[in-house]
């Protein structure tokens, strides 16, 4: 029997919440307060409480959360920000959009996250680099920006990503940040609630943590939305200003910002969904455990199928758990074959992400080459995300595993 099992099916969640969502949307329509209405402030308050932070600033998307965070640190042309080569494009795109350079280091092959020891080597190499011209985006938006000499002051931040919903090695990055006097911006677009409650809350108080509420995230809106959280009230004030064209009062602009406001309608829908987040993440974890167990029982790991290692195994530091499984990602040598096989049998899968940043056409000017980040390149060739959404039934999940086993039997 061939089923149709989409990779992600939001309609199931919306069927359950339809009356609540419709009522929330109607309330906003009736209020007429579409721009930064009360639902935005309420959502900021509630998300801050859920992730144990003092301040939250709702913005227009996860991409804009990252962009604003960088802007608030004054990142600009000729600067550099250290990040991973293996993430959604936005992570590096926002750095380049400000005229800065994404400084890359390889990933840890188990967690897929930026490897702190590689990151430190990249920082040292950057600081030791001969003074000279430093690349800017071709056709860059800053034609007058001189290609300034990189110095310690030009390295502006560390931007680790919590890929697939698993926290990067924050204790290690915290040590690096201290040693090199760098702020940390966390790309937690895929990771709301990961590693939470954070055992070192406070230690990370100055971090700017960026979330996306893109519909496929664990907490997803009905359109684009995002948020930045921090324990630093001054950072939050600056972010709030930047969100409204840098305005401190009506038509008085202290800074050049932009229109990065979170839509009241999105906030209202997200407020309906937030109380379900823990339950949904629990369902994702149960699905992940079931995949772990069933895939292990097939014996396929011995034939080269790599299931996600237990959260944080193989890590050098940090002991907190809390993968939220925004994605359940296996590694497979014949990915194309398996993906096509599953598609023919009605199972949707996705590849996050097939091309690492250093091999993207738009980043050719950075001067990286194939082979520079072998772990990221291998991951890009092998990763395959299986359906993991909370409403996935056990029967459907078993069907996915059965078809994967069938693929290996037939190949």
Ligand X SMILES: Cc1ncc(COP(=O)(O)O)c(C=O)c1O
Do the Cβ atoms of 223 and 263 come closer than 8 Å? yes
Q: Is there binding between residue 84 and ligand X (CB under 6 A)?
A: no
Q: What are phi and psi of 134, to 5 degrees?
A: -125, 140
Choices 18-26, 113-121, 187-195, 284-292; region in contact with ligand X by CB under 6 A:
187-195
132: left (phi over 0), alpha (psi -120 to 50) or beta: left
Of all residues in the shown chain, the one whose CB is closest to ligand X is 62
Q: Is there binding between residue 212 and ligand X (CB under 6 A)?
A: yes
Rounded distance, CA 360 to CA 335, Å? Answer: 20
Rounded to whole angstroms, what are the CA distances from 120 to 176, 180, 255?
7, 9, 33
Of 91, 264, 281, 327, which lies in the binding site for ligand X, with binding defined by CB under 6 A?
91
Q: Is there binding between residue 87 and ligand X (CB under 6 A)?
A: yes
Choices 58-66, 174-182, 306-314, 376-384; region in contact with ligand X by CB under 6 A:
58-66
Min. distance of Cβ 188 from ligand X in angstroms? 8
Give the per-residue contact string, 61-80, with ligand X (x = CB under 6 A; - = no): xxx-----------------
Of 70, 96, 161, 401, which lies in the binding site for ligand X, with binding defined by CB under 6 A?
161
Find, among 228, 267, 270, 245, the residue nearest to 37 by Cα: 267
* Alpha-helical regions (H) of 60-115: 62-72, 90-97
CA angle 89, 144, 253 (to 5 degrees): 75
Name the residue nearer to ligand X (CB basis): 226 or 257. 226
Q: Is there binding between residue 266 and ligand X (CB under 6 A)?
A: no
Q: Is there binding between residue 187 and ligand X (CB under 6 A)?
A: yes
Min. distance of Cβ 227 from ligand X in angstroms? 10
Name the residue nearer to ligand X (CB basis): 216 or 298. 216
Of 189, 274, 376, 380, which lies in the binding site for ligand X, with binding defined by CB under 6 A?
189
Rounded distance, CA 186 to CA 117, Å? Answer: 18
Q: What are phi and psi of 408, to 5 degrees?
A: -70, -35
Choices 44-52, 59-67, 304-312, 366-374; region in contact with ligand X by CB under 6 A:
59-67
How many residues lie near ligand X (CB under 6 A)? 15
* Beta-carbon contacts of residue 323 (< 8 Å; ≥ 6 apart): 164, 165, 166, 167, 194, 285, 288, 308, 311
* Alpha-helical regions (H) of 188-259: 233-243
Choices 113-121, 186-194, 196-204, 241-249; region in contact with ligand X by CB under 6 A:
186-194
Q: Is there binding between residue 226 and ligand X (CB under 6 A)?
A: yes
Find, among 221, 94, 111, the residue nearest to 159 by Cα: 94
Choices 106-114, 185-193, 376-384, 387-395; region in contact with ligand X by CB under 6 A:
185-193
Of 8, 86, 88, 373, which lies in the binding site for ligand X, with binding defined by CB under 6 A?
88
Q: Given the rule CB under 6 A, which residues bind ligand X?
A: 61-63, 87-88, 90-91, 161, 187, 189-190, 212, 214, 224, 226
């Amino acid at each position: 029997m061939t089923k149709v099992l989409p990779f992600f099916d939001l309609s199931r969640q919306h069927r359950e919440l339809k009356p609540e969502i419709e009522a929330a949307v109607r309330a906003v329509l009736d209020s007429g307060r579409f721009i930064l209405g009360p639902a935005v402030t309420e959502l900021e308050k509630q998300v801050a409480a859920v992730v144990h932070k003092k301040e939250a600033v709702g913005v227009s998307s996860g991409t804009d959360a990252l962009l604003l965070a960088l802007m608030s640190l004054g990142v600009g042309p000729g600067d550099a920000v250290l990040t991973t080569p293996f993430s959604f494009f936005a992570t590096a795109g926002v750095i380049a959009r400000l005229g800065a350079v994404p400084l890359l280091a390889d990933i840890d092959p188990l967690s897929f996250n930026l490897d702190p020891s590689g990151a430190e080597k990249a920082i040292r190499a950057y600081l030791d680099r001969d003074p000279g011209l430093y690349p800017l985006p071709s056709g860059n938006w800053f034609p007058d920006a001189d290609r300034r000499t990189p110095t310690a002051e030009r390295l502006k931040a560390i931007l680790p990503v919590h890929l697939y919903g698993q926290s990067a090695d924050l204790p290690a990055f915290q040590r690096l940040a201290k040693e090199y006097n760098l702020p940390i911006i966390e790309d937690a677009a895929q990771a709301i609630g990961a590693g939470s409650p954070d055992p070192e809350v406070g230690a990370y108080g100055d971090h700017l943590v960026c979330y996306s509420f893109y519909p496929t995230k664990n907490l997803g809106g009905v359109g684009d939305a995002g948020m930045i959280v921090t324990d630093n009230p001054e950072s939050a004030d600056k972010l709030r200003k930047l969100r409204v064209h840098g305005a401190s009062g009506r038509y008085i602009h202290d800074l050049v910002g932009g229109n990065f406001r979170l839509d009241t309608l999105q906030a209202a829908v997200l407020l309906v969904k937030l109380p379900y987040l823990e339950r949904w993440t629990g369902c994702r974890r149960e699905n992940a455990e079931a995949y772990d167990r069933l895939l292990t029982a097939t014996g396929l790991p011995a034939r080269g199928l790599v299931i996600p290692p237990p959260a944080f195994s193989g890590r050098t530091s940090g002991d907190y758990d809390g993968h939220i499984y925004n994605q359940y990602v296996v590694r497979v040598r014949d990915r194309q074959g398996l993906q096509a096989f599953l598609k023919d049998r009605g199972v949707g899968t996705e590849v996050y992400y097939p091309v690492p940043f250093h091999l993207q056409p738009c980043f050719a000017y950075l001067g990286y080459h194939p082979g520079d980040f072998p772990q990221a390149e291998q991951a890009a060739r092998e990763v395959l995300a299986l359906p993991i959404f909370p409403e996935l039934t056990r029967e459907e999940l078993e069907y996915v595993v059965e078809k994967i086993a069938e693929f290996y039997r037939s190949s």
